[in-house]
């Protein structure tokens, strides 16, 4: 949208939080289940790991081209908390090798949603 000359503070807020949240979540999952994942396809999961580091880095471009508002950050918080509820209480979470880290991932997901929205508050216009 930015390249088309259009700005959306709501899309910027959701994208900023989402890139970091899901980039970090995937890194955590691949690390926690590394014996399972890397045993099956080491090259694939190494590339996946590197690309998700890139997602996190990419997020920091967004505040350089767009600012957030309190309203859009509140919407982003509701968006991601709702997604976390769906994932961890209604079973829409991506398939894991096993559920040994399910509780840890649930806590991490809820906390990172809140922490990232608070952090994004420093970019409020």
Instruction: Give tens-digit pLDDT for 75-120.
Output: 999 999 999 999 999 999 888 878 889 999 999 999 999 999 999 9
Q: Which domain holds residue 24?
A: 8-120
**Into how many domains does the chain fold?**
1
Q: What pTM was estimated for this model as a whole?
A: 0.90
Domain-embedded: residue 125 = no
SS3 101: coil
CB atoms within 10 A of CB 71: 11
Domain-embedded: residue 2 = no
Domain-embedded: residue 1 = no
Matching residue, tokens 């952090």: 119
Output 42-50 pairs: Cβ under 8 A, ≥24 positions apart: none
Dump pLDDT digits (tens) for 23-58. 999 999 999 998 888 888 889 989 999 999 999 999
Task: Locate 106 and state its tokens.
Answer: 């649930």
Give the pLDDT score at 6.
67
Domain-embedded: residue 3 = no
């Amino acid at each position: 949208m930015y390249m088309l000359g259009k700005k959306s503070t709501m899309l910027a807020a959701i994208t900023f939080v989402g890139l970091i949240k899901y980039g970090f979540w995937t890194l955590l999952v691949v690390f926690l289940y590394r014996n399972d994942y890397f045993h099956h396809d080491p090259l694939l999961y190494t590339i996946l790991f590197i690309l998700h580091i890139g997602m996190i880095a990419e997020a920091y471009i967004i505040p350089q081209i767009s600012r957030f508002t309190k309203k859009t950050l509140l919407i982003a918080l509701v968006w991601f908390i709702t997604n976390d509820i769906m994932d961890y209480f209604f079973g829409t979470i991506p398939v894991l090798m096993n559920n040994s880290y399910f509780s840890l991932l649930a806590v991490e997901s809820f906390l990172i949603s809140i922490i990232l929205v608070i952090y994004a508050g420093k970019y409020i216009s």
